[in-house]
Structure 1
Amino acid sequence: MPRVLSAMDVKSLSYRACQLLILLIVGITPLAYVYVAGLLYFLLHGIHGRDLAYPNYPYGWKGVAFNIYTTWMLVEALWLPYHLYTFNRLRSRRQTAHAARDADERRTLLAKCLNAIGDASSIRKMIEGWFFETPIEQIRRGNVAEWAAWAFFDKEYTELNDLELEEVDEMVKETEQRIQYRLKDGYDKRVKCIRLTIDKMQMLHRPFIYYVTISIMHAIGHVFLRFLGFREASVTAKGNTTGTRQRYFYRPGSSSAKKLEDTRPIVFIHGIGIGFLHYMPLVARLPRDVDVFLLDWPHVSMRLAETVPSIEDTVSSLATILTRHNHTKACFIAHSLGTAAVSWMIHHRPDMVASTLFLDPIVFLLVHPAIAYNFVYRAPTTTTELLMHYFVSRELYIAHSLARHFNWSENVLFKEDLPKSEQHLVLLSSNDQIVPSQAVRQYLQNSNVELLWLEKTAHGALMFKQDALSVLQCKIEEACGLRA
C-alpha cells in the first residue's frame, strides 16, 4: 500500500525544491568562471603551436547559440566583481538620522513606545526580542544602553557625548521602572542586539541573468499598466537631494466623476518585491472614476537602483504630483514598506491626506523587534521564509535600502498620530511572516481605525484572494468618495 505524504513531508519537499532552485541560480557564476577558464585555456593552447581556428566551430543556429552563451558567460564573469564592488560601496554607514532632534522629543518617543507595547511583561518580551530572545536576566545595563544609543540616537554607544550618555542612562532607568526589574550592571559582549542601520549589511550574490529576468517581469508589468490605461510620468521634487526624478504612473478619472466635489484621487505605493506586477489584481480593481497615481520605487523592486529617495524628496514629489493634477488631497493606499510613505505624508503633509488604507503595514509598533528580525535577521526554516530570505531580503539593493536607509523613528506611526477627522483602514493578515499582526491588531483596537482581519493569509497573499479584494475594493470606493 503506497504511503500517503504527510504535511511535514510536503513541507520538506517544497523546501528542498526551493533550495535546489537557489542552488541552480547560485551555480551560474562558478559555471561562468569554469567556462571562461576553459575558453582561455583553448586560446592559449592554440597560441602555443596549434591552429587557432577551431575546426569544429559550430555554424548556423548552433553558432549563434554558441556566441550568445559565450557572451552570457563572459558577462557573468565580469558581473561578480562589479556586484561585489557595488556592495562594498553601499555597505558603509550613512550620516546619522533620527526623527527625535532633542532630549524632550526622545523622552516623548520613549514614552510612546513603552505605552504602545503595554504592561511590564510585554515590555520585557520586547527587550528580549531585540536581543535575539536572550532572557532578561542575562541582559546587562550596558547592553540595553548600547541598544538605546542606536534606537534613539542612531549612533554607537561610544559615539555619544556626555549629555547623550546621561540621556541614555535615564532611558535605561525609565525602562527598568516600566519592566519592574533591575538590570545587572556591566556589559556582556556575548549578548548581541539588533541595530538595523549599524549592523553589517547582509547580501547574497545573484547572477546578472537574475536581473535580466526581473527587468523582463517589470516590462510585463508596465505592459499591463498601459493596458489598464496608465501612462508613465515623472516629477522632480523641490529641493531635490538625490538628483533623480520620481517616476509614477497616472490614469485620469472619468470626466463625469470629476464634477463631483467629494471625490478624491488615489495614490498607491507598492512594497518590496517586483514592483507593480505583484499588485496587478489590486490595481485592476482601482476605480476608474477618479484619478489614480502609482508611485514607483525601483530601489526596493530588485532593479539596479542605488539611489534611495529621501523622506523630504518623497513627500515633496507626492505633493508636486497632486498639485500638478489640480488636487489638494488624496486617498493614500499602500502595502508593506510602502506604508512608510503614508506615514511620512501624515507627519509632514497631513493637509494632503484625505483618507488612508494600510495593507499589511510595517509602520505600526516598529518598536517591536518582529519586523526587523523577521525580514533581515531570521534564519529561514520554511519554504516561504527561504524564498523571502534569498530572493528579497538578501538582494543587494533592497538590503542597502533597509540596512542603510530604514530609520524606524522616521517611519513609525502611532495610533494617536492618525488624523481623527479622516477615514483610516488597516488590513492585517493572520499568518503574516513579517508584521506582528496579532500585536498590531490588539494595539489598534479602540482607536479611530477600521480593522480588516484576513484569516489564514500570509504577507502579501491578499493579492490572490478574490473575496478579500472585493471587500477592499468597496472600502477603496468609500475612501475616495465614490460610495457612501
Structure 2
Amino acid sequence: MLVGQSTAEYILIKTIIYFFSYLGLLCILYFYLALSIGGVRVIAHPVSIFIESIGAIEILWYLVWFLPYRRYLHKQRAAFPPRLSRYERQRLFRKSLETTADIELFTRKWMGGAHLDDIRRENIKEWMLWALFNREGSPAEDDEELEAYLFEIEEKLGWAVKPGWGPAKSLRLNFDRFEVTHRSLIYYLFVGCVDFATTIILMISGFRFYRQPRSAFLKSFPLRPMTLLAPKQSVTPSISYFFRQHKSTKHRPVVLAHGVGIGLAPYVPLLLQIPKDIGVLAIEIIPISSRITTALPHAADLMREIGDIISHHKLDDFVFVGHSYGTFLTSLFLKSSLLESRMHSIILLDPVAVLLHLPDMAYNFTRRKPVEANELQLWWAAQTEPDIAFTLGRRFCWREHIVWREDLLSRTTTVIMGGRDTLVNADAIASYITRGDLAWTWEDREDWRRSRYSWTGQGLELVWLEGYDHGQSFLSRVFLPMIVKTIEKHAVLESRLESPLPPLPEPDAKLDTTE
C-alpha cells in the first residue's frame, strides 16, 4: 500500500526508515549525550538503562545476524526451470519483440538506462543469455542463435548495433547483486505483532488458520505462536493459509494470492467485506512477507502444493484473485491442468505479470533511485527487504510468470489498476488489455477513465482507477467496496453477470487524480 508524493509523506517515510534501520545507533547516540550532559546519574536511570539495553541488543543483531545473513543470501545461486528448446526460445523472443512499441527505449532500459552509443552487440548477447538461456558466461556455444536474434532487433531498430563490448551494464535479475538493507529487531517484532493480530481477527471472523508443521516453528522469524497453537495443519509442508468454508449456493468460492509486504494484514478489510457465505482461501506466501524464513519453493513445487490445498478443500470451481506479486501465480495456474480446469475466472489487482518482458518492472524494482515518498517506501519495504530481494533476485524466472493477453481471454477476466502505478507501465498494460497492442491514444485513455462505470463482468475488461498508485485502491473507501463487488459478481454462478457496477462517485479527495 503506497503512500502519496507529498512532502509530509516523504518526511514520514524517511523517519520510519531511519528509526527502524538505525535504532541501535540512535540508542548509542542517546547514551553519549546522556553521559555528556548528565553524567553517570542520568545513564544509570531505569529509563536510560532500558534504552541502552535496546541499543546493545540492536548492535548485536546487526553484527551477529544481518551481516552474516546478507553474505549468505548473496552466495546463493539462482534457481531456474528446465531450459527451453530453440523453438520455444524463438517463439518467446518473437512474441516479446512483437509486443514492444518502442524498441530503442526497450533496449536502453534493459541496459540499465544506458545511452544507445554505449550499447554493443556483446552487451545485448549477455542480456539474452539470461533472458532466454538461463545462463551467463561466454555466448560462444549459442552464438549463431544469438546473432539471429540480434539481426531481428537491428531490423526493428533500423540500424546495426556496433560490435564488441560497451560501457552499458545489462539488467539480469538472477545474476545481478541485489541490494539488501538492515531492519532492526524491533521492526521484525512489530511485523510479528501485526501478523498475530491479523490471525486473531481472521479467526474471530470465521476463518480457520492452517499452519505449517510444528517442526517449522523455528524456521521462520518472527516466531509465529499459531504454528504451535493452531489445531489445523496445512496439507502441504511449505504453505500456510486461511480458509473459510464455502456455504453459498449462488456463488463460487474465491482463492486469493497476496503481494509483497507484510503478508495478509493489508487485505483484512477486503477479506472481511466479502460476503460470509462465500468460501475464501487466502494463501500465505511467507518469503515475500518481511520475514526471515526458508526459500520459496520452485514454481512447479509451489503449484503442486497449492493444487493439493485446493483439492483437499474441494474447490472445484473458483475465482482467482491476485494482487501485485500474487498475479505472478496466474500463469502457473493456467499451466496446471488441475488448477486451470477449476479456475472459472480471474481478477488481477495492480498486475505486474502482464507485459513482464518490458523492462519497467525490473528496472523500477532494481535500478531506479527512489525520489518521491512512494518510491522510497517501495524501495525500503519491498525492494531491499532481505527475503523479498532474495526471492525476486534468485528464485524468480520471468518467463514462468509472464501473462499474455490470450491467456486472459481464455476465461472471464477483470484487470483493476491505478493510472499512476509507480512500478509498471500502466498505459502500456491498459492498451494491451483493451486493444491488444501498445499503441494507445488519448481517446483510449478517456475510455479507460470511464471503464469503472461500464464494467459488465464479461470477457476481458479493464477497470482503470485514474490518479491511483500501486495498491492505493485498498486504502480508498470508494474503491475497496467496488473491488469486493467485482469479486462477488465474478463469483455468481450464472453464466452471465446481469448488471454492471453501479455508478461510483469521484475518487477520494485526499488522493491526487490529476493527469
For the criterion TM > 0.5, the same-fold answer is yes
Aligned pairs (5 A) from 1:399-478: 399-418=389-408, 420=410, 422-446=411-435, 448-478=459-489
Question: Aligned runs of 1:335-374 on 2, under 5 Å?
Answer: 335-349=323-337, 350-374=340-364
Alignment of 1:124-139 (within 5 A): 124-139=104-119
When residues 91 and 97 of structure 1 are mapped into structure 2, their CA distance, relative to the original with a 3 A threshold, is same
Aligned residue identity for 1:87: R
Q: Does 1:216 align with 2:209?
A: no
State the partner residue of 1:42. none
Question: Equivalent pairs: percent with the same residue?
Answer: 27
Can you give the 5+ residue segments of structure 2 that lack an aligned partner in the other structure?
34-39, 214-235, 437-458, 498-515
C-alpha separation between the residues in 2 aligned to 1:445 and 1:78? Answer: 54
Asked whether the equivalents of residues 266 and 293 of structure 1 are also in contact (C-alpha less than 8 Å), the reply is: yes
Please list the CA deviations of residues 104-137 of structure 1 after superposition, one character each: whole Å capped at 9, or x if unmatched. Answer: 110010011111214xxx1221111112332334
Are 2:311 and 1:323 aligned? yes
Amino acid at match of 2:62: L
Write out aligned runs for 1:161-180 (5 A).
162=141, 164-180=142-158
Deviations 1:423-458 (A, max 9, x none): 111111101000211100111124652111100101
Is residue 23 from structure 1 mapped to residue 18 from structure 2 by the alignment? yes
8 Å contact from structure 1 (residues 100, 109) kept in 2: no
SS in structure 2 of the partner of residue 433 of structure 1: coil
2:113 aligns to what SS in structure 1? coil
1:396 Cα offset (Å): 0.9
1:388 maps to a residue whose letter is: L
Looking at structure 2, the residues matched to 92 and 332 of structure 1 have their Cα atoms a distance apart, in angstroms, of: 36
Q: Secondary structure at the match of 1:367?
A: coil
1:67 Cα deviation from its structure 2 partner: 6.2
For residues 352 and 283 of structure 2, the distance between their equivalents in structure 1, rounded to whole angstroms, comes to 18
Find the counterpart in structure 2 of residue 51 from structure 1: none
3-state SS, counterpart of residue 416 of structure 2? strand
| Pairing partner for 1:78 from 49, 60, 72 | 60
The 3-state SS of whatever aligns with 1:129 is helix
CA distance in 1, matches of 2:152, 2:465: 37
SS of 1:458's equivalent in the other structure is: coil
- Residue 415 of structure 1, CA deviation: 1.1
Runs of 4+ in 1 over 3 A off after TM superposition: 10-14, 31-38, 54-58, 65-71
- Tell me if the contact between 1:346 and 1:418 (Cα under 8 Å) persists in the aligned partners: no
Residue 276 (str. 1) matches residue 259 (str. 2): no
Work out the CA distance in 2 between the residues paired with 1:440 and 1:318.
28
Deviations along 1:303-331, one digit per CA (max 9) or x if unpaired, are 12232122122211221111111222321
User: Could you say if the C-alpha distance between residues 283 and 80 of structure 1 is closer, same or farther in structure 2, counting changes exceeding 3 Å?
Assistant: same
Aligned partners of 2:79 and 2:396 also within 8 Å? no
Please give the alpha-carbon distance, in whole angstroms, between the structure 2 residues aligned to 1:27 and 1:234. 33
2:414 is paired with a residue whose SS is strand
2:107 maps to a residue whose letter is I
Select the residue among 68, 72, 90 that pairs with 1:89. Answer: 72
CA separation of 1:410/1:57 partners in 2, compared to 1, >3 Å: closer, same or farther? closer
Q: Say whether the 8 Å CA contact 2:28–2:52 is kept in structure 1.
A: no
Q: Tell me, in whole angstroms, the C-alpha distance in 1 between the residues paired with 2:189 and 2:131.
A: 38
Q: What is the aligned length?
A: 440
Q: Cα offset for 1:161?
A: 5.5
> How many angstroms apart in 1 are the aligned matches of 2:126 and 2:87?
20
How far did residue 416 of structure 1 move? 1.8
Q: Distance in 2 between matches of 1:364 and 1:29?
A: 42
Distance change (3 Å), C-alpha of 1:351 and 1:24 = same
Determine if contact 2:212/2:237 at 8 Å carries over to the other structure.
no
Compared with structure 1, are the counterparts of its residues 222 and 91 closer, same or farther at alpha carbon in structure 2 (3 Å cutoff)?
same
Distance of aligned partners of 1:55 and 1:114 in 2 relative to their CA distance in 1, 3 Å threshold: closer
Cα displacement string for residues 29-85 of structure 1 (whole angstroms, at most 9, x for unaligned residues): 3345678999xxxxxxxxxxxxxxx99997xxx75x566545433321221121111
Q: Which one of the candidate residues 234, 246, 252 is aligned to 1:253?
A: 246
SS at match of 1:267: strand
More displaced stretch, 438-447 vs 333-342: 438-447
Larger radius of gyration: 1
Alpha-carbon distance in 2 for matches of 1:451, 1:412: 18
Aligned AA for 2:160? R
The whole-number CA distance in structure 2 between the counterparts of 1:161 and 1:264 is 53
Per-residue deviation, 1:399: 0.9
Matched residue of 1:246: which SS?
Answer: coil
CA contact (8 A) 2:24 2:56 kept: no
Tell me, in whole angstroms, the C-alpha distance in 2 between the residues paired with 1:37 and 1:56.
Answer: 11
SS of the residue aligned with 2:322?
Answer: strand
> In the aligned structure 1, how far is the partner of 2:49 from the partner of 2:115?
59
Structure 1: 5+ residue stretches without partners: 1-7, 39-53, 237-242
- The equivalent residue for 1:44 is none
What is the CA distance between 1:12 and its match in structure 2?
A: 4.1
- Contact 1:96–1:155 (CA<8 Å) still a contact in 2? no
Of the structure 1 ranges 386-395 and 435-444, higher mean CA displacement relative to structure 2 is found in 386-395
Task: Write the deviation string for residues 224-283 of structure 1: whole angstroms up to 9, x where unpaired.
Answer: 2123211101479xxxxxx943100001123xx24x5xx422100100111111122221
Provide the residue aligned with 2:371 in structure 1.
381
